[in-house]
Amino acid sequence: MDTRILEPYLDNVLEEAAFSDLPGHYRGKVRDNYDLPGGQRIIITSDRISAFDRNLTTIPLKGQVLTQIARFWFDTTADIVPNHVLAYPDPNVVIGEKLKILPVEVVVRDYMAGTTGTSIWPMYKSGKRDMYGITFPEGLQENLKLPQTIITPTTKAFDAGHDEPLSTKDIIEKGLLTQNQWQTVTDMALALFERGREIASERGLILVDTKYEFGFDHRGRIVLGDEIHTPDSSRYWFAETYQARLEAGQKPESFDKDFIRSWVIQRCDPYKDDIPEIPRDMRLKTAAVYIEAFERITGQKFALPDVKQPPKMRIHKAIKDYSSTIVPRPPPKKAGDGPMEVMLEKGKMYSFCTCGYSRKQPFCDGAHKEFAPDYKSYKFEAKEDGSAWLCCCKNTKDQPFCDGAHNTLNEKS
């Protein structure tokens, strides 16, 4: 990609997305998050690049790239694992159902790789054979495929702490999860990874390893949260050069977005010193790498946003517009509760579903199909005065609006 096209974006980055009129702000390393009272979490991915537990600089369009890669993967895996996504009101924003995030980060690996303290290669190289409750055989080599796909869980360090390795035994004994919950999580993680490996391979890529975060939704169901298979949470290698480079004793080719890290290490102790200013051309090159990653992974062309529009303002407007359409979540319906009335925007199309999902919000996006296959959903237009009666009783399987007359017929609303 020609970095000259990207140059104007250098002065229009999303450094942060702090909005005083939104509730429950939490700033993560890369994302600004808000918790809305109705149980929705706004996740805004900024252009910050983080390493050595700090922010190094900003990379133009990185937030949009990451959000759009995650979106591609949420879409292509929703049929096998339910996820938190409710809406994408802006290219940098995902609205998720607010989950109770599990205290375990789930790392899945296919290769003997990595460089950080929790990676398996540095530990193996130093002679360790028992890691994460798994006994590794002798003779494994750096960057070679493991005998089988493995899960190397770590603690989820809330509030910027460090991740520590865990084994299945630790997870159960420390009471982090029950045996059944951990089984569900591992089944889901392996299914996601398998799908990721297949799709990546169709695109000439090897999905080497990745990290997932799961959480409980409002019904206590375990679903996928956070991000999925982005270049920040995953390692990808290029399949076509893998073998030749290995034989030549070289590192596998990847989306090389780590040259900023190397540049920093050569100039200072990144854990102690001030970080020198990162040159503009390095930030541009990194932006191009992220965009190439998006295009390679998804097979889609990256949509450059309007460079004249400041992203922070654009995002704020998109979130405000989105928030104004949220219908407060009604209290969970019990048998005999009857229908509920909602006010809708006249003339707009809505869909309503008789599944339990639409008790959380009256409108169902169909994402629940995998756990409520026999329910019906309806598309309808709001009535003249904007009012509508929605009901989860059996009668509404035949008519989307309930007049309440069935309450005596059908106790189990």
Ligand X SMILES: Nc1ncnc2c1ncn2[C@@H]1O[C@H](COP(=O)(O)OP(=O)(O)OP(=O)(O)O)[C@@H](O)[C@H]1O
Report the 3 state secondary structure along 102-153. Answer: CCEEEEEEEECCCCCCCCHHHHHHCCCCEECCEECCCCCCCCCEEEEEEECC
Contact between 28 and ligand X per CB under 6 A:
yes
Characterise 124 by phi-psi region: left (phi > 0), alpha (psi -120 to 50), beta (else).
alpha
Select 62 or 84, whichever has its Cβ closest to ligand X.
84
Residues between 140 and 169 that touch ligand X (CB under 6 A):
157-160
Instruction: State the amino acid at position 397 in one-letter form.
Output: K
C-beta of residue 66 within 8 angstroms of C-beta of residue 232: yes
> SS3 of 44, please?
strand
Handedness of CA 231, 237, 238, 239 (dihedral sign): negative
Select 78 or 382, whichever has its Cβ closest to ligand X.
78
CB 308 to ligand X: min, Å:
27
Applying CB under 6 A, among 84, 229, 235, 406 the residue interacting with ligand X is 84
Contact between 33 and ligand X per CB under 6 A:
yes
CA dist., res. 259 & res. 337, Å (int): 60
Contact between 360 and ligand X per CB under 6 A:
no
> SS3 of 82, please?
coil
Contact between 99 and ligand X per CB under 6 A:
yes
Residues 6+ positions from 362 with CB-CB distance below 8 Å: 327, 330, 340, 342, 352, 390
Select 84 or 406, whichever has its Cβ closest to ligand X.
84
CA dist., res. 260 & res. 75, Å (int): 31
CB 102 to ligand X: min, Å:
9
Maximum alpha-carbon separation in the chain = 78
CB 337 to ligand X: min, Å:
28
Residues between 175 and 214 that touch ligand X (CB under 6 A):
213
CA 43 from centroid of its chain's CA atoms:
9
245: exposed, middle or buried (C-beta count within 10 Å: 0-12, 13-18, 19+)?
middle
DSSP assignments along 177-246, one per residue: S-HHHHHHHHHHHHHHHHHHHHHHHHTTEEEEEEEE-EEE-TTS-EEE-S--S-TTTEEEEEHHHHHHHH
Contact between 25 and ligand X per CB under 6 A:
no
Residue whose beta carbon is closest to ligand X? 28
CB 97 to ligand X: min, Å:
6
CB 100 to ligand X: min, Å:
7
Select 68 or 396, whichever has its Cβ closest to ligand X.
68
CB 213 to ligand X: min, Å:
5
CA dist., res. 376 & res. 400, Å (int): 9
Given the rule CB under 6 A, which of 7-15, 95-103, 107-115, 137-145 is the region that contacts ligand X? Answer: 95-103
Applying CB under 6 A, among 17, 22, 30, 102 the residue interacting with ligand X is 30
CB 73 to ligand X: min, Å:
14
C-beta of residue 386 within 8 angstroms of C-beta of residue 345: yes
Applying CB under 6 A, among 22, 41, 72, 362 the residue interacting with ligand X is 41
Applying CB under 6 A, among 6, 17, 31, 322 the residue interacting with ligand X is 31
CB 413 to ligand X: min, Å:
30
Select 261 or 333, whichever has its Cβ closest to ligand X.
261
Select 47 or 213, whichever has its Cβ closest to ligand X.
213
Residues between 209 and 268 that touch ligand X (CB under 6 A):
213, 215, 225-226
Q: Spell 93-106 as b/e; 16+ CB within 10 A means b.
A: bbbbbbbebbebbb
Given the rule CB under 6 A, which of 28-36, 264-272, 294-302, 318-326 is the region that contacts ligand X? Answer: 28-36
Contact between 98 and ligand X per CB under 6 A:
yes
Residue ranges binding ligand X (CB under 6 A): 28-31, 33, 41, 43, 84, 96-99, 101, 157-160, 213, 215, 225-226
